[in-house]
Amino acid sequence: MKVTDAVDKFRPWYKEPWPWVAIAIPAAAVIAGAITFYLAVSHPDYLVVEDDQYQEIKSGLRAQPESDSKGDSDVDPKVDSGAAPEAGVQDDKGNP
């Protein structure tokens, strides 16, 4: 076998598929990052609201009812919790 026969068997790197796969993966990430950056810059979410909107939100938060100091206001005391009543405790109708 001659040296020229061995050289003819090897293809240049750019004719092999694996270098292109290795190049394509980071290239796709760069392209996706550029698209994400473009979308973020072209469609920003404004964090600062106008003063009128701020006052409206602030007053809406103050209008929320405060919780009951005795416990959770969502619990109805008349609803039976399923627990056994304590000895000597009666309900509104006098039942033990």
pLDDT value of position 52? 80
Q: Which amino acid is at 52?
A: D
pLDDT value of position 57? 78
Tally: H helices and E strands in the chain: 3, 0
- Can you say whether the dihedral through the CA atoms of 87, 90, 91, 96 is positive or negative? positive
- Residue 14 — pLDDT band, cuts 50, 70, 90? very high
Q: Tokens for 5, please give them.
A: 């026969």
Residue 77 has pLDDT above 80, yes or no: no
Could you tell me if 52 and 59 are in contact, meaning their C-beta atoms sit under 8 angstroms apart?
no
Could you tell me if 20 and 13 are in contact, meaning their C-beta atoms sit under 8 angstroms apart?
no
Domain positions in the chain are 10-42
The residues near 85 (Cβ < 8 Å, ≥ 6 apart) are: 91, 96
- In tens, the pLDDT along 15-69 reads 999 999 999 999 999 999 999 999 999 988 777 677 888 788 777 777 666 665 5
To which H or E segment does residue 18 belong? helix 17-42
